[in-house]
């Protein structure tokens, strides 16, 4: 269900405006209509937005920082000013870390380059050069090395590494060399110095990491406090910029929305604030924010609806209507009583053991529990329990259950199609309600005609003795529905336009309905494939276990656990995705759901 909203218009004196906004934020029930004009040009707002991004990035970095075992981060509240200081300090550390990492990579490269030449002092090479002797360093493949260089240029092989020859030549400084191989330019320090520089840089980098770990341990609360304060300032600035000036900039005009249940509290607050205000009902042209207020089991399915989009204010909230179908579809797709029992016990156990569970998490766990219960009972239709067919066991209980519940593959296939047809027809009924609410009853006449036509065809096919197909009663119904479909599909247009649009609508309906109904075959296919995989893992667990009293059971249990864990993960994923696809595409389309509503977000601390 969608919460009824009231439109609010405030008119306040400019000198008292910020105080009024502070009090309005403390009240925390008004969704302010934001305007984009002027926000991009406001320097203070843009600076706060940049600061907010920096705080978020720093907070995420510290939260992902690995702490030493036994170290527990501080969770108490922190100071806002300290949070701003932490951002600058952490960013400085990250800059330093980047430079140190780059230096470390350079030293590692230079150290590796010197490894082949051994440890020597570059100053000694320079002393020889000053004495008139040039020492040049070369590297080439073993096939390109010419031993004549040893006589001609005093070449000396220093090392042979992985088909590479590293050698030096000793010549007069005025003598020109052209060996045709790669000449190596070495760093201006020795191998020992390169290793020392690498080690010192590594130590500085480790110290940098330790400092970041200390910030992660001690400063996260301060960052969170600063982030909340900045976000609050951003929201406040947006509200101020969304205001309009009136009466020569002496008055400030602001619009917003609040649930109708808060009307009395809002009136009391505004009367005390001494501002002019108006409270009105929304008009069809208004973009009213949406707050869903489903109760009980239907509230648990609201996150699924939000994954698609929120409804418009003048639309039906389809959450209570698709929830039973989604629950049933999930159970059929997963289709194993053992898997359902496993999910139920897991979610229930987590709720009992875990402490301080958030309200949103409680809703998700409740959704998992109800979907697990559906899976358990849907699994009874085929009698599978972790891939084992319970109805093949000669126990009286299971045999009685088989007589009452068992459905073979053909029956499961038919059940999927029937459920699809029922949900699509139900969606069309909701479309009639939506059209009547939004446009008026005459705009729903054509849809009513299609519903009657489809139902009459189904009755004639399934119960020919009650209403024979092509009989007088059936022909009368077809005639009436034909007039409804071809004459009322677009009220207000001329008859020829209606007939043309009716033909086009008929073509789309016939081809679309067939594809929509066939889409529900996936309910049968997913359940069947999951059961086959489960039985395959059972066979592997039994067949691949060695004939050993100790090793045999261990291997069998490992294969069973790993195999079914993979199967549960894959099947749960499919059992969520495919029912969502049927809901968002087939059901929402046939119910005329448009969506596009904006979520209700009250202006508050």
* Per-residue pLDDT tens digits for 92-141: 998 999 999 999 999 999 998 888 888 888 888 889 888 888 999 999 99
Domain end, chosen from 252, 269, 289, is at: 289
- Whole-angstrom CA distances from 192 to 127, 161, 293, 547, 597 are 19, 20, 72, 60, 68
pLDDT at 546 over 90: no
- Domain of residue 282 covers 1-33+243-289
- Give the residue from 582, 587, 593, 577 showing the smallest Cα distance to 310: 593
Q: How many domains in the chain?
A: 4
- Supply the pLDDT for residue 596: 83
- For residue 596, being part of any structural domain is answered with no
Q: Are strands 251-259 and 276-280 parallel, antiparallel or unpaired?
A: unpaired
Residues 474 and 445 placed together within one structural domain of the fold? yes
Q: Mean pLDDT of all residues in the chain?
A: 84
pLDDT at 176 over 60: yes
- Supply the pLDDT for residue 440: 79
- For residue 191, being part of any structural domain is answered with no
Q: Which residues contact 366 (CB under 8 A, 6 or more apart)?
A: 300
DSSP 560-574: HHHHHHHHHHHHHHH
Query: From the centroid of its chain, how far is CA 271?
Result: 44
Residues 540 and 423 placed together within one structural domain of the fold? yes
Backbone phi, psi, residue 135, to 5°: -110, 115
Strands (E), 94-215: 133-141, 156-161, 164-172, 182-184
Mean pLDDT of 566-583: 91
Structure tokens at 251: 């008055």
- Supply the pLDDT for residue 77: 56
- Supply the pLDDT for residue 246: 64
The per-residue pLDDT for range 436-474, each reduced to its tens digit, is 888 778 878 888 888 888 888 888 877 877 778 778 787
- For residue 389, being part of any structural domain is answered with yes
- Whole-angstrom CA distances from 438 to 131, 138, 287, 441, 486 are 99, 85, 14, 9, 21
- Supply the pLDDT for residue 39: 54
Which CATH number do you get for residue 16?
3.30.70.120
- pTM of the prediction? 0.72
Residues 18 and 129 placed together within one structural domain of the fold? no
Residues 59 and 170 placed together within one structural domain of the fold? no
Q: What percent of the chain has pLDDT over 90?
A: 18
Domain end, chosen from 157, 185, 213, is at: 185
Mean pLDDT of 323-327: 93
Residues 42 and 13 placed together within one structural domain of the fold? no
- Supply the pLDDT for residue 331: 92
Other beta carbons less than 10 A from residue 261's beta carbon: 12
Structure tokens at 115: 């490894």
Tell me if residue 395 falls in helix, strand or coil: coil
Residues 389 and 434 placed together within one structural domain of the fold? yes
Residues 62 and 3 placed together within one structural domain of the fold? no
- For residue 448, being part of any structural domain is answered with yes
- For residue 365, being part of any structural domain is answered with yes
Residues 312 and 344 placed together within one structural domain of the fold? yes
Please answer whether residues 375 and 331 qualify as being in contact, where contact means their C-beta atoms are separated by less than 8 angstroms: yes
- Give the residue from 343, 513, 353 showing the smallest Cα distance to 421: 513
- Supply the pLDDT for residue 370: 93
Residues 262 and 331 placed together within one structural domain of the fold? no
Q: How far apart are CA 471 and CA 374, in angstroms?
A: 42
| Residue at token pair 């119904």 | 477
In this prediction, residue 36 has a pLDDT band, given cuts at 50, 70 and 90, of low
Domain end, chosen from 289, 317, 348, is at: 289
Residues 130 and 211 placed together within one structural domain of the fold? no
| Residue at token pair 């001494």 | 274
Strands (E), 121-250: 133-141, 156-161, 164-172, 182-184, 244-246
- For residue 342, being part of any structural domain is answered with yes
- For residue 595, being part of any structural domain is answered with no
Residues 232 and 322 placed together within one structural domain of the fold? no
Q: How far apart are CA 523 and CA 538, in angstroms?
A: 23
pLDDT at 44 over 80: no
The per-residue pLDDT for range 475-508, each reduced to its tens digit, is 888 788 877 777 777 776 667 777 777 777 777 7
pLDDT at 223 over 80: yes
- Whole-angstrom CA distances from 289 to 263, 592, 598 are 16, 20, 5
- For residue 355, being part of any structural domain is answered with yes
In this prediction, residue 37 has a pLDDT band, given cuts at 50, 70 and 90, of low
| Residue at token pair 């087939």 | 586
- Supply the pLDDT for residue 391: 86
Strands (E), 14-132: 31-32
Please answer whether residues 560 and 541 qualify as being in contact, where contact means their C-beta atoms are separated by less than 8 angstroms: yes
Q: How far apart are CA 48 and CA 471, in angstroms?
A: 74
Residues 257 and 312 placed together within one structural domain of the fold? no
């Amino acid at each position: 269900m969608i919460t009824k909203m009231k439109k609010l218009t405030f008119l306040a004196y400019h000198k008292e405006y910020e105080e009024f906004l502070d009090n309005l934020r403390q009240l925390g029930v008004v969704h302010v209509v934001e305007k984009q004009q002027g926000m991009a040009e406001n320097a203070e707002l843009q600076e706060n937005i940049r600061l907010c991004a920096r705080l978020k990035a720093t907070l995420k970095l510290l939260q992902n920082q690995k702490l030493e075992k036994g170290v527990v981060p501080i969770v108490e509240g922190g100071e806002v000013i300290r949070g701003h200081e932490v951002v600058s300090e952490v960013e400085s550390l990250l800059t330093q870390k980047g430079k140190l990492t780059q230096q470390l990579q350079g030293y590692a490269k230079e150290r590796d380059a010197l490894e082949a030449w051994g440890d020597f002092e570059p100053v000694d090479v320079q002393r020889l050069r000053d004495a008139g002797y040039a020492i040049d360093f070369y590297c080439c493949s073993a096939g390109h090395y010419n031993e004549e260089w040893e006589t001609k240029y005093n070449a000396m092989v220093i090392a042979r590494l992985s088909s590479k020859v590293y050698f030096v030549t000793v010549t007069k400084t005025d003598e020109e060399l052209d060996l045709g191989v790669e000449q190596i330019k070495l760093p201006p320090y020795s191998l020992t110095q390169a290793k020392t520089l690498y080690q010192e840089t590594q130590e500085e980098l480790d110290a940098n990491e330790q400092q970041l770990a200390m910030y992660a341990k001690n400063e996260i609360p301060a960052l969170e406090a600063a982030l909340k304060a900045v976000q609050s300032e951003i929201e406040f600035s947006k509200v101020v910029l969304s205001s309009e000036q009136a009466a020569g900039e002496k008055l400030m005009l602001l619009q917003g929305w609040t649930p109708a249940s808060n009307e009395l509290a809002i009136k009391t607050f505004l009367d005390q604030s001494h501002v002019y205000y108006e409270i009105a009902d929304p008009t069809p042209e208004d973009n009213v924010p949406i707050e869903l207020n489903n109760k009980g089991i239907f509230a648990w399915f609201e996150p699924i609806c939000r994954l698609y989009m929120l409804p418009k204010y003048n639309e039906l909230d389809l959450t209570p209507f698709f929830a039973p179908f989604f629950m049933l579809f999930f159970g059929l797709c997963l289709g194993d009583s053992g898997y359902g029992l496993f999910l139920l016990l897991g979610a229930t156990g987590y709720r009992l053991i875990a402490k301080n569970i958030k309200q949103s998490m409680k809703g998700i766990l409740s959704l998992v529990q109800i979907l697990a219960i559906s899976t358990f009972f849907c699994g009874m239709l085929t009698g599978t329990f972790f891939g084992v067919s319970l109805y093949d066991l000669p126990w009286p209980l299971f045999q009685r259950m088989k007589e009452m519940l068992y459905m073979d593959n053909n029956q499961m296939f038919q059940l999927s199609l029937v459920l699809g047809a029922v949900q699509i027809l139900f969606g069309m009924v909701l479309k009639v309600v939506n059209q009547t609410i939004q446009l008026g009853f005459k705009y729903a006449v054509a849809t009513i005609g299609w519903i009657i036509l489809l139902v009459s065809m189904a009755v004639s096919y399934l119960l020919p003795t009650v209403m024979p197909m092509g009989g007088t009663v059936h022909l009368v119904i077809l005639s009436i529905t034909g007039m409804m479909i071809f004459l009322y599909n677009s009220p207000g247009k001329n008859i020829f336009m209606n007939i043309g649009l009716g033909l086009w609508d008929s073509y789309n309906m016939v081809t679309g309905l067939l594809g929509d109904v066939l889409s529900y075959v996936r309910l049968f296919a997913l359940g069947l494939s999951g059961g086959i995989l489960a039985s395959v893992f059972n066979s592997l667990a039994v067949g691949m276990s060695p004939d050993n009293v100790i090793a045999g059971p261990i291997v069998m249990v490992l294969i069973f656990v790993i195999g079914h864990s993979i199967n549960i993960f894959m099947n749960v994923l499919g059992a969520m995705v495919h029912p969502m696809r049927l809901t968002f595409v087939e059901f929402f389309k046939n119910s005329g759901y448009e969506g596009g509503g904006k979520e209700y977000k009250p202006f508050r601390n």
